[in-house]
C-alpha cells in the first residue's frame, strides 16, 4: 500500500490534500465521526469510513502514510486513546505520519514573532490540549512523526465574503492585535511536499508571509465586493461568544522560514489579499 493515505478525521485541510494526491494515483481513505458526512467524502473520490465504528487496525498494519486531523477532546487525543498500541506497533513500517496542530501552542506574544524554536506557552485550554497531544504523539518510539502547526485557515467556503454580503460582518478592533493565516491550498501543498521527502521528528509552522490585524481582512473583503465597510466595534464592549473572544487572547506573528527551507515550499497565496482575490474569482 505504497500510495495509500489513511486520513483520520478527514476535514477541510485533509480534503485539499486528497484533491492533490488522487490525480497522482493515490488511494485516500478518510474517516469521519458522522455517518451523514460519508457521502460527501465519497463524492470527492475518497473512500469513506465511519470512525469510531470501523476497526482501523488492519489498515494500520499495512499502510505507510497516515494523516491525523482529529483534534484533542476533554479526554485527550481521541486517536491515541483508541489506537496508541497499534500505532506504536505500526511505527516500524510507517514512512510518514502527519499531525495537524495549531500555532495556538505558542500562546500570546503581544504581536511579536514566533518560530518553531519558541517555547510553548498556550494562552487557552484549546492550546494547552494541543501541547499535550503533540507530546503524546512524540512519545511513541520510532514514529515517523511530522507536526504541522497551522495558522488561521481560510479558503473556498471558509472566508469573510458570506458575512460581508449578508451585512453581518464586523471589524473587531483590539489595538495591537495581529494574526497569521494560511490558505488551505498552501497547507495541502506543504503536506504533499513533506510526504514526498519525509523527515521524522520535523515540526513546521504553516502560515503566509503577511500577519495582519483581523479588521484589515474584513475591510479588504468588503472593498473587493464593492460593499460598505463593516462597522468597527471595540473589542472590550463588542458582543461576542466566549469562543470568538478567546481567539483574541493571543496576538503573534508566525514565521514560516523553516517550512520554506526544509520543504522547498512557497505559499501560492503569500498574503490575505492574494488569497481573497483567488477566492472571489471562484465566487466563494
Q: CB neighbours of 231 closer than 8 A, spacing ≥ 6?
A: 170, 171
> What would you measure as the largest C-alpha separation in the chain, in angstroms?
57
Decide if pLDDT at 181 tops 90: yes
Give the ranges where 78-229 is alpha helix by DSSP (H): 78-90, 125-138, 161-166, 184-196, 214-225
Cα 221 from Cα 216, distance rounded (Å)? 9
Query: Which among 249, 145, 269 has a CA at the least distance from the CA of 206?
Result: 269
**CATH code that applies to domain 4-151+184-207+255-267:** 3.40.50.720
* Euclidean distance between the first and the last CA atom of the chain, given in angstroms as a whole number: 36
Taking the C-alpha atoms of 145, 147, 153 and 157 in order, what is their torsion angle to the nearest 10 degrees? Answer: 0
Decide if pLDDT at 283 tops 80: no
| 195 — pLDDT class (breaks 50, 70, 90) | very high
pTM of the model: 0.95
Where along the chain do its domains lie? 4-151+184-207+255-267
Q: Are 221 and 169 in contact (CB under 8 A)?
A: yes
Reduced to 3 DSSP states, what percent helix, strand and coil does the chain have, rounded to the nearest 5? 40, 20, 40
Cα 133 from Cα 274, distance rounded (Å)? 33
pLDDT at 281: 87
Q: What is the pLDDT of residues 117-153, one digit of tens each?
A: 999 999 889 999 999 999 999 999 999 999 999 999 9
Decide if pLDDT at 257 tops 90: yes
Find the radius of gyration of the CA atoms of the chain.
19
Cα 116 from Cα 123, distance rounded (Å)? 17
Q: What is the pLDDT of residues 213-250, one digit of tens each?
A: 999 999 999 999 999 999 999 999 999 898 888 889 89
% of the chain exceeding 70 in pLDDT: 99
Q: Are 204 and 262 in contact (CB under 8 A)?
A: yes
pLDDT at 136: 97
| Stated length of the chain | 284
Residue whose grid cell is 490540549: 129
Q: Are 95 and 5 in contact (CB under 8 A)?
A: no
Q: What is the pLDDT of residues 51-74, one digit of tens each?
A: 999 999 999 999 999 999 999 988
Q: Count Cα atoms within 13 angstroms, Cβ side, for 237.
A: 3
Q: Grid coordinates representing 280?
A: 472571489
Amino acid at each position: 500500500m505504497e500510495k495509500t493515505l489513511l486520513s483520520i478525521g478527514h476535514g477541510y485541510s485533509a480534503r485539499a490534500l486528497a484533491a492533490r494526491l488522487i490525480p497522482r494515483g493515490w488511494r485516500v481513505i478518510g474517516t469521519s465521526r458522522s455517518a451523514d458526512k460519508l457521502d460527501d467524502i465519497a463524492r470527492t473520490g475518497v473512500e469513506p469510513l465511519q470512525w469510531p465504528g470501523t476497526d482501523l487496525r488492519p489498515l494500520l498494519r499495512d499502510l505507510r502514510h497516515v494523516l491525523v486531523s482529529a483534534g484533542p477532546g476533554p479526554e485527550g487525543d481521541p486517536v491515541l486513546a483508541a489506537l496508541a498500541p497499534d500505532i506504536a506497533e505500526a511505527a516500524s513500517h510507517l514512512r510518514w505520519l502527519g499531525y495537524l496542530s495549531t500555532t495556538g501552542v505558542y500562546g500570546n506574544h503581544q504581536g511579536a514573532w514566533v518560530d518553531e524554536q519558541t517555547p510553548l506557552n498556550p494562552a487557552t485550554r484549546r492550546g494547552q490540549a494541543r501541547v499535550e497531544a503533540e507530546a503524546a504523539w512524540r512519545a511513541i518510539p520510532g514514529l515517523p512523526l511530522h507536526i504541522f502547526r497551522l495558522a488561521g485557515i481560510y479558503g473556498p467556503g471558509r472566508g469573510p465574503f458570506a458575512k460581508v454580503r449578508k451585512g453581518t460582518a464586523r471589524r473587531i478592533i483590539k489595538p495591537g492585535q495581529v494574526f497569521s493565516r494560511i490558505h488551505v491550498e498552501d497547507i495541502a501543498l506543504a503536506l504533499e511536499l513533506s510526504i514526498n521527502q519525509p523527515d521524522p521528528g520535523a515540526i513546521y509552522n504553516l502560515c503566509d508571509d503577511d500577519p495582519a490585524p483581523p479588521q484589515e481582512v474584513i475591510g479588504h473583503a468588503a472593498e473587493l465586493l464593492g460593499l460598505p465597510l463593516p462597522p468597527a466595534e471595540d473589542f472590550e464592549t463588542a458582543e461576542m461568544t466566549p469562543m470568538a473572544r478567546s481567539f483574541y487572547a493571543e496576538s503573534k506573528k508566525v514565521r514560516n522560514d523553516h517550512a520554506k527551507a526544509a520543504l522547498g515550499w512557497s505559499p501560492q497565496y503569500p498574503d490575505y489579499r492574494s488569497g481573497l482575490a483567488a477566492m472571489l474569482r471562484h465566487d466563494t
